[in-house]
Structure 1
Amino acid sequence: MFVDHIRIFAKAGDGGNGAVSFRREKFVPRGGPDGGDGGNGGDIVLIVDPSTDNLRQFFYDPKLIAQDGKPGGGVRKTGKGGKKVTARVPPGTVVYRSTAATVMEAVEAERSEEGIDLDPVADLTENGQEFILCAGGIGGKGNWNFRTSTNQAPQEHTLGTPGDQAVFYLELRRIADAGLVGFPNAGKSTLLGKLSAAKPKVAAYPFTTLQPMVGVAEFGGFRRCTIADIPGLIEGAHENRGLGHEFLRHITRCRVLLFVVDMGGTEGRDPVSDIEILRKEIKEYDAELARFPWIVVANKMDVEGAAENLEIFKQRFPKVEIIPISAELEEGLDNLKQYLDNEVAYKYNK
């Protein structure tokens, strides 16, 4: 199961209360105050782990609850701090804080016409990066802290503060240098498999790719480029039709978009119409995404009629860079690799 967005509830531990205590020993009838401080509550911490590739762990248990701090004791004993809870998330996880107080309130608000406000609080991209999702409460002060020259037997103490708690929305945005965008059966998965060591499922029917895949293309000089393949788009994807809308978030971090077009029209589609629809869907989904650098990868050039379609395509889009290939026969891939090396790997890994 691939989970790339989920709602969770998190609560840090409350701080323990400070103690009211007086030293009472033999031959020390008036020993004075010795109430210790309460322990701090445990934090909720997110850690970026590159070995984690989705948010599935939260699907089965969408809550994180840390331990409370223990109350202080006599003889100035500080209560034991609550154990923190750590959760591992993949690189590219964006954390939003919901205005809802409970998960049920969040669900009901999302179903309503008004929706619910989400405030971004963290963008976790670096391996090993830690983020305190909820801070634990501070332990209260024991009465030992309130002794003075005029108050030798203070009863004052403070209570521990409550730990933070909130409903959060986690959204995974895969980090990749280049993103493959195209209609189902355009050959994106085959292309990813030829460019990298990734082994995506490939078959002659739509929506073979049901989750984003990321592969790594290796070049000379130890340069590399990560490539993301998302499920194929269909017309109306920006309105949540098909599978692509659900995963478009994964290309919002890409440096360049590769629009893979079936130039042979094997699905009875028109390549010119395809790129016009794809560009429109990207713009409708995110206007900023539409301004990313992009090129067209004219796939299936081994199919009859592809050469003629390519000439028509070039006349319609004279200023667009086009790289003709046949992913299946591995033709033209050297030109595509050279482009990725020059425009991505070399440029951003100097």
Structure 2
Amino acid sequence: MPAVEFRDIVKRYGPLTVLEHLNLRIEDGEFVVLLGPSGCGKTTLLNLLAGLLDPSGGEIRIGDRDVTHLDPKDRGLAMVFQSYALYPTKTVRGNLKFGLSARKLSRDEIDRRIAWAAKLLQIEPLLDRKPAQLSGGQRQRVAIGRALVKQVGVFLFDEPLSNLDAKLRTEMRIEIKKLHGQLRNTVVYVTHDQVEAMTMATRIAVMDQGVIQQVGTPDEIYDRPENIFVADFVGSPAMNFVDCALQAEADGLAAVDGRSGLSFGLDDYPWRRPPEPGRPVTIGFRPEHLRPPNGAEGRHLRLDLPVGHSEKSGSDVVLFLSLPQRMIAAKLDAAAAEPLRRQERASLALPLDRIAVFDTASGQRL
């Protein structure tokens, strides 16, 4: 399957710059998710790849072809839209057939492709129904089937699950991932839903304000965010942040919060550049890394903080603990959290090998 490459892509609308000198390579057979908030440029980038928009600068390549100015039909792509975009007057079979008839394929070849896609997506009993007679999940399967029958190397998905309820979204995530495992096509998938990105992607490109903030596997994005934006956007609840200053103490370097008195020991921190005492830094740590202190192993920081409120979600409980001028979240299993919910203060341990240090001014990981 072909690779996809964006080289120095720029997209402007008059004085408004939507994408600024963007570079990204998607290897053949990868499932890459473009993840970011509304307005970050991810759908614009997908539409540039599809040929629905023209770039203001740069080059788009699919395999060894420069497709920057090719018509959509000549790019070897298939796209699944958020709105399904099915023809209401045609049956499922007619919707699957529509894009093939223009290619002047034989009737036998068209029937073979429709039968193959219908079996793969388990929509064989639906072929003679019209879209109004289908559920949301069935319509989305038909939309995917219409892309599959084209038998191209690159599939584009533009937030295809956002119109489905929570249960159907889970089911369709599994189905799309399973399809990719079977077909090994190159997939470029746009979403603002971090759960979709983390569960489906082989790599994620996190975008903000037209700039790719980080590209990596789901584990890399989650465990080693490159900057405060990525750390804050990926994760639910979001990462906790505490503004500190680097200080040289008797037992080594630490990040100290002058308002709360918290001191994060950094002797074993894997610095990317030499630390500078006095530098303002932001300490980040995930809510799930806070645990009851009993049995805590390795170097850790003991926190004893007032309990603000709590939220229970199934087997998990999120405790919100008070620091001066901010709250931090701790995500615990219900059994561990239950006694703490009834107390005024909670004692928790934070492993110091799970913290991230960011430069407060630039937001970049140190």
TM-score, with length taken from structure 1: 0.23
Kindly indicate which of the two structures has a greater share of residues assigned to helix.
Answer: 2
Q: Which has the higher strand share?
A: 2
When the two structures are superposed, what TM-score results if normalisation uses the length of structure 2? Answer: 0.22
- In terms of Rg, which structure is larger? 1
